[in-house]
Structure 1
Amino acid sequence: MPKPAHLIASTVFSMTALAGAVQAQQPGGIEDNMPAFQQALKARLTFPMAWSPQVKDLAAWRAAGRAKVWDATLQAPDRTPFAPQVLAEQDRGAYTARDVAFNLTQDSRVRALMLVPKGAGPFPAVLMLHDHGGKFDIGKEKVVAPMGDAARSALSQAWAAKYFGGRHLGDELARRGYVVLAVDALGWGDRGTLTGDTQQALAANSFNLGTSLAGIHALDDVRAAEFLAAQPQVDKRRVAAFGFSMGAYRAWQVAALSDAVTAVVAANWMATTEGLMVAGNNQLKGSSAWHMLHPGLVRYLDYPDVASLAAPKPALFIAGASDPLFPAASAQTAFNKMAQVWKAWQAPERFETRVLPHGHVFPLEAQEGAFEWLDKQFSAGPANSPAGASHGQTR
């Protein structure tokens, strides 16, 4: 028996109203390159593996955090012999520059620049990690002056003038008595070159191959740190990771993941996920973000949580008060969170942060302060090893 017309109309109206309500409650589509339901996704990011006052066993917490990060990198442990070879040397006065080749991983044999002070060692050492900057034709030469290449020398000097007050950070540290190692990240210099557009293809194809671009960087940096610490001229108990911008991200990440690193200086890369997920920020544009995004890791740990896995190693974090890429307020929120972890390790004096009156650059004044800080951390020699730190295998 057919339904009366008024019942049919009522049913249609009810279904239409219900559909409208569902549509209102479940927005779809994309807004500003984000899912329209981004707020619901953000609300689920509770970072359950972050340190909290409920953590009683700090060493176990750190081990679990490291394991989670390594899992997200999609990388397997690598113990390939380094098999180093010196290709060329250059006398630079107080130190010698070397063009060296070694097996970074089982898949990559690379060329690197290594600076070795003259005199009796062993010396403290610094792994210098270069930035992104949207410039791929040089990598290691952004932080160490190149050898015998006029074209790269010009590019290198221009980069130093733009971001570092005309100074090559690695060469200055070598003059101060540090062994310095700089290696190209995949896509830069001798290992490239990328372009702004091809970054996303490289990242996608890394996933197609069962790996991750950010994960490759992480493993490469850990292996570089292990290579540096293994050099006969190096005091393995005094090895720092040092970087600016993406190099700073790499520095605190390798300090968190590797026992070969015993201190870290990171300038102009620290913030919270929430603080970076704002309109116009680089982290939302793809491109450079692919080098720093481990699949699914943000479901467990925020950026400051990962960096806190480096505790209680000496750590200096620097931010620019007018840095447009890493808002100072978000950087300070991250710093406050991290400070609690060093305090929990009973080593608050080993953690220092500075918000300085500059933008996304690392000027001479900030450099001098960072160099002096690092000198102070290593001035006591081997006895300055962080209390409670692990010196076993990286994982």
Structure 2
Amino acid sequence: MKRLSTITLALAALHTAQADPQGVTEDNLPLFHQALKERMTFPLAYEGGDPSTWRERVLPEVRASILPYTASRPFDAKLIDEVDRGSFVARRIAFNVTDESRITALLLVPKGEGPFPAALMLHDHGSRFDIGKEKWIAPWYDEQRLSSATEWAARFFSGRFPGEELAERGYVVLAADALGWGDREGNGYEAQQALAANLFNLGSSLAGLIALEDVRAAAFLTELPDTDPNRVAAVGFSMGAFRAWQVAALSPHISATVANAWMAQAKGLMVPGNNQLRGQSAFNMLHPSLLQLLDFPDVAALAAPAPMLVYAGEEDTLFPPSAVEGAMARMHDVWRAHGAEEHLTTRLWEDKGHVFTADMQDAAFEWLDAQLR
């Protein structure tokens, strides 16, 4: 009897001392997310010493974390059609971007004698899926897409098509659709989660596949006869900026990078109200094990000491300025350690939101000219 009473009292004490259940916030963060943040120590981040040795040690692990496999299928490029646009020729081509996927792309080639510097243009997300490559280059083959692309250019690019701006400057320009956009359009915003889950179950990931295709597109651009293989840039806006500094880290073919409107420290993005918590679009930039290794600015810094430009808007609600500035400072540490801090240009633009306006483009492209000419 005495033992039963003791057990009863112990259970009663346990009941009264029970903690509140640790559930989920309205932003779908676990209530214990701060404790999980403290576990994020980024063990492979640069912490001083020889940055080249750090890169040699870390890059293979980052590649293994991001890329699902190494593609080797011949590109086998074919011309679909082309139009004359004055100082350059605009071509629609098809090539094998991976061992499984053959895609269409837009290729702009300046007139005159090459080889020319080149730019791999990496499009944004924007929850707009009917256009991908057309966000950079005005299509001549589809009136509806031209209407969508013109609207997009007015909203984000001061009415310009930045790919064509670079072609006018004498660059070979390549733009292709990521899986889910343009010619590869999926089933809408809400279907991204299912696509990502299915790719996880296929031993891959949506973000990893996009990264693999970008690495392959860089190699393809480098091999084109009009391209100078030593002067190939990655240029991106928003999600495309993420892709730009990512491919610069992963590919030996990228010699300079322009990344506008996607750079921040991960912990600064994982805060209530941030777009990163919405799911869906985040799957396109979600590598499941990457943040167990290192933070976003350290991934970008694997491209050092090659030239890189990183812009952000001070009024961009998607990227808190403190997280952006912290990331930029981390990157400067690595370029400085290489003795090449002058090769890294960062700027938080006043009175700018999530845009790549004409003045931002002009400054970025003049910087790129100075690096590659």
| Fold agreement, TM-score > 0.5 | yes
Letter in 2 for 1:34: L
Deviation (angstroms), 1:22: 5.6
Q: Specify which of 346, 353, 364 is matched with residue 370 of structure 1.
A: 364
Deviation (angstroms), 1:15: 3.6
Deviation (angstroms), 1:20: 4.9
Deviation (angstroms), 1:328: 1.6
Distance 2:369 2:137 in 1: 19
Distance 1:181 1:195 in 2: 25
Deviation (angstroms), 1:16: 3.5
Match of 1:101 in 2: 94
Is 1:272 aligned with 2:265? yes
Q: Specify which of 241, 251, 268 is matched with residue 258 of structure 1.
A: 251
Deviation (angstroms), 1:147: 2.2
Deviation (angstroms), 1:68: 2.0
Alpha carbons 1:126, 1:181 under 8 Å: kept: yes
Is 1:41 aligned with 2:36? yes
Match of 2:314 in 1: 321
TM-score (norm 1): 0.91
Distance 2:265 2:17 in 1: 34
Is 1:356 aligned with 2:349? yes
Alpha carbons 1:271, 1:303 under 8 Å: kept: yes
Distance verdict in 2 for CA 1:20–1:361, change over 3 Å:
farther
Distance 2:310 2:146 in 1: 29
Match of 1:23 in 2: 19
Q: Secondary structure at the match of 2:319?
A: coil
Mapping 1:157-168, distance limit 5 Å: 157-168=150-161
Q: Secondary structure at the match of 2:90?
A: strand
Distance 1:182 1:371 in 2: 17
Mapping 1:41-120, distance limit 5 Å: 41-53=36-48, 55-56=49-50, 58-120=51-113
TM-score (norm 2): 0.96
Distance 1:325 1:20 in 2: 43
Letter in 2 for 1:47: F
Alpha carbons 1:173, 1:180 under 8 Å: kept: yes
Letter in 2 for 1:29: G
Distance 2:229 2:187 in 1: 34
Distance 1:188 1:196 in 2: 11
Distance 2:251 2:67 in 1: 16
Q: Secondary structure at the match of 2:330?
A: helix
Letter in 2 for 1:3: K
Distance 1:20 1:34 in 2: 27
Letter in 2 for 1:52: E
Is 1:179 aligned with 2:175? no
Spell out, residue by residue over 1:350-389, the C-alpha distance to the aligned partner (whole angstroms, 9 max, x if none).
Answer: 001011120011111111100110011112xxxxxxxxxx
Match of 1:344 in 2: 337
Distance 1:184 1:167 in 2: 19
Q: Specify which of 145, 163, 169 is matched with residue 152 of structure 1.
A: 145
Match of 2:2 in 1: 3
Spell out, residue by residue over 1:175-199, the C-alpha distance to the aligned partner (whole angstroms, 9 max, x if none).
Answer: 0000000000000000123411000
Distance verdict in 2 for CA 1:371–1:50, change over 3 Å:
same
Alpha carbons 1:65, 1:306 under 8 Å: kept: no
Q: Secondary structure at the match of 1:30?
A: coil
Deviation (angstroms), 1:21: 4.2
Deviation (angstroms), 1:95: 0.3
Letter in 2 for 1:41: L
Deviation (angstroms), 1:148: 2.4
Deviation (angstroms), 1:65: 2.5
Match of 1:303 in 2: 296
Alpha carbons 1:245, 1:269 under 8 Å: kept: yes
Alpha carbons 1:188, 1:194 under 8 Å: kept: no
Distance 1:143 1:276 in 2: 27
Alpha carbons 1:50, 1:301 under 8 Å: kept: yes
Q: Specify which of 170, 173, 193 is matched with residue 200 of structure 1.
A: 193
Structure 1 spans left out of the alignment, 5+ residues: 380-395
Structure 2 spans left out of the alignment, 5+ residues: none
Deviation (angstroms), 1:78: 1.1
Alpha carbons 1:222, 1:258 under 8 Å: kept: yes
Q: Say what the alpha-carbon RMSD is for the aligned residues.
A: 1.4
Distance 2:369 2:160 in 1: 18
Is 1:241 aligned with 2:237? no
Alpha carbons 2:89, 2:108 under 8 Å: kept: yes
Letter in 2 for 1:30: V
Q: Secondary structure at the match of 2:174?
A: strand
Spell out, residue by residue over 1:12-58, the C-alpha distance to the aligned partner (whole angstroms, 9 max, x if none).
Answer: 3444434554635xx522123112221221110000100011x33x3
Spell out, residue by residue over 1:90-119, the C-alpha distance to the aligned partner (whole angstroms, 9 max, x if none).
Answer: 100000001011110111001000000000
Letter in 2 for 1:59: S
Distance 1:12 1:368 in 2: 76
